[in-house]
Structure 1
């Protein structure tokens, strides 16, 4: 006899379904209540150039909650995450587990605590590991290395708000399958990218591909400035590459650095502290300022160009006051560009002028005091005064003649 859905009354079928769902819910709840969670590491001592594996385990494959691992990123780079489940049958007894394996690279040296990891309504116990300095020479050039990082910053002693040039070079003699290099984050400093260069360089008879990144760093307070190490995470071709080979994991770090930042010298008496390699003032006119007539509109643009400063650091120009000329200032324009010497800041201020009466009008001299970081001396950028001789409009001449 064939069994059909009509073999049980509808009410009985609903009762059976509800009972099964309740049983499964109670079973899952009971399993979660009895589930233990734990954390373990494959090593508790490593160097800055090494990684460790943190394993988070729940003693039930039915455990459905994900570990909350965001707090790990305070002290570690999370390079890889894998998840697996296991079931064991021993002498008729069944056990299962669910496990998360995380590959971690430390961000700093010293004693580091892996915090308690929340897993559902349970937490693992915290673990403590020791991270030591990378072995001597691994952060610098070595003839038997395939990948390494170099870093430099100039000058090593500077003034507050002065531009420093921070350069990071990645040397590699192998192909990258995947790579990621941190961007510098420096406390109490502003960082602006100056671009990237790629080239080849021969080192100890071996040719390396070099990726060079340059940054402008502007310290915002005097005292000691720490430049932390940058971390490279990469996978490179294995010694025996194959289509299924994910490559070898490589972790490299640039050397950390520290420089001293000085306060502005007492001998500087400018209104605004401007440490730069050079500052210049320029003006440009929309028409010939020597051929102006009353009622004729003309626009004057004044540029402040500074080598080694951002445009936002440059001062506003003093307002003009010229009775007999209507003035319509525009919003200032700010622009940052780069060259081999670093960042160049440009502030442009434009003013439309309409003289209403003929006569002579003098635009005052503009002066900006600044500090020359090349000569370590105060200087002044000057735009000389200019006299505008406004001729009468043809109609005005005719009216006067009559």
Structure 2
């Protein structure tokens, strides 16, 4: 028996080792939810241990071919026939880094290791036989653009299932230099592909290359969650999750950016699909009246250029026409073909005299990106005919004057009708009357000398108003009623210069010295609007109301609350 025992000991030891190996393999195992996955989709790896352990699996071997997106752990304890058992599970969400036939390597925990698990990873394809739940595509036109010309880059996301928690990275340029502008909101529609109905989300960008040469657009990455496919799972209910994470990459796009053609010699490089220039007149191009402002609006509209790329207008000056340009208005509009840039230049024109005046033509050279030829947009020359003002006064004291300001009273001499109609005096009283008249004239001469030597505010008469002051007042009224900021400001300055020709105050002085709060605020608001983006929305009603009220109040006898008295004292040195 001893001999038998001695001979049987190696056999017993071998069976014992096999039993321990089988037990270890059964106690620590790894599973995947499916054997074939699509590149960019997540799958689940479950590691299960029937042996009590306080350690965690070593996941380092997974890093070579897989990305671990998330992991969780759970354990359960059960009692069967008085015996306790514990099961520990680790659930890993993985994503393959490449396609092909891969292997999930053994995972170790303490003295135990899992068996290798084979996995097939396929590229993202979309066919009638194997439609994808989600896929993306990009389109770029043109592929050989000119420098600073518009390129449209379009992304389309196709999905057959519900998608949640979606995220998309920003569009980036890997190589080269470009300005990127997103084109409006995303579009949603449906489309049939290979007999399958897809919901499509479309997003577009406008790209403007800044240098010639290669321009590489980086791939776009979509990450989202879609419902899990439990029907394809080979694992128990632990893997029947509601959502699974997917990733979809677009391909990198490389463009060959062309330089400015050698045949294009113009100062402004304007590559566009179309460029036009036109004009609009506030008076309908007809009624031009001396001294009255008219607004000319010149617009440049270009397909495929931003408003910032459009050039400033070089409008030649014309004698006898005062020109007051406003701040240009720049606007970018979105169309089905990309960005449409609009530049508008409003100019107030005030004719000094009647007659005919020639406004020269305006030419803008640009490059047609479709025909690859130079084009010229032209605004034809125009002759305007200015009529004399119906209220044009004659130069001199007989001209119609403005309402006098308070403290600047006009001295008028009225003769009684009886004196005008009285018969000629004869006899001795004739010489008496002559002596009295001479004395009266001498008194006037002395008084005039005294007044010139020591003038006072209440005794100074308003100087005669020339034709420019009256025209400026009319121009101010017309500009305010038409809400033309530049023309109103120019007319107000002209009026001030006409009223105080030797030492005209500035608008800043008017604001500081004028006694009317409403007029001061209106002038200040006008000046502030001239430098604001919304200068085109200026309302001239407040300025004209304040100006007309102040000048009307100036005709009242009292000099209290006079809108211009302080200003007049300042100009007069009083």
Deviations, residues 28-72 of structure 1 (Å, cap 9, x unaligned): xxxxxxxxxxx97563334xxxx612xxxxxxxxxxxxxxxxxxx
CA distance in 1, matches of 2:171, 2:93: 25
| 4+ runs deviating over 2 angstroms | 39-46, 80-84, 101-106, 139-144, 239-242, 395-400
Question: 2:64 aligns to what?
Answer: 45
Q: Partners of 1:376 and 1:193 in 2: how far apart?
A: 26
Aligned to 1:193: 182
Instruction: Map 1:78-227; keep pairs closer than 5 Å.
Output: 137-138=123-124, 143-186=130-173, 188-195=177-184, 196-227=186-217
Q: Deviations over 1:340-377 (max 9, x none)?
A: 22211111111111112112222211111111011111
Contact 1:160-1:261 at 8 Å conserved across structures: yes
Q: Could you tell me whether the CA contact under 8 Å between 2:147 and 2:211 is conserved in 1?
A: yes
- Shift in Å, 1:320: 3.8
Offset, 1:378: 0.6
2:317 corresponds to which residue? 321
Deviates more, 1:160-169 or 1:174-183: 174-183
Larger relative strand fraction: 1
RMSD: 3.2
Distance 1:225 1:355, change over 3 A: same
Deviation at 1:276, TM superposition (A): 0.4
Partner of 2:11: none
**Alignment partner of 2:377 out of 375, 381, 386:** 381
Length, aligned pairs only: 292
Q: 1:279 to 1:136 in 2, by over 3 A?
A: farther
Residue-by-residue CA offset, 1:245-304 (whole Å, 9 max, x unaligned): 561000001111111001010011221111100000011111223211111111111111
Unaligned runs of 5+ in 1: 1-38, 54-79, 85-100, 109-134
**CA 43–141 in structure 1, closer or farther in 2 if over 3 Å, else same:** farther
How far is the alpha carbon of 1:333 from its aligned partner?
1.0
More helix by share: 2
Q: Is the contact between residue 272 and residue 315 of structure 1 (CA under 8 Å) also seen in structure 2?
A: yes
Query: What whole-Å deviation, never above 9, does each CA across 1:164-211 have from its counterpart, x for those lacking one?
Result: 111110000110121011231225111112232111111122111110
What is the CA–CA distance in structure 2 between the aligned matches of 1:302 and 1:399, rounded to whole Å?
A: 36
Alpha-carbon distance in structure 2 between the residues aligned to 1:163 and 1:141: 33
> Whose Rg is larger?
2
Q: 1:295 aligns with which of 283, 286, 291?
A: 291
Q: Deviations over 1:318-340 (max 9, x none)?
A: 14422222221111111111112
Helix, strand or coil at the partner of 1:221: coil
Contact 1:139 1:149 (8 Å CA) reproduced: no
**Per the alignment, do residues 158 and 197 of structure 1 end up closer, same or farther by CA in structure 2, a change over 3 Å counting?**
same
| Corresponding residue for residue 19 of structure 1 | none
* 2:353 is the counterpart of 1:357: yes
Aligned to 1:6: none
- Which one scores higher on RCO, CA 8 angstroms, separation ≥ 6? 1
Correspondence for 2:226 among 228, 236, 240:
236
- The counterpart of 1:264, out of the listed 260, 265, 268, is 260
Corresponding residue SS for 1:43: helix
Native 8 Å contact 2:127 2:194 kept in 1: no
Distance verdict in 2 for CA 1:198–1:395, change over 3 Å: same
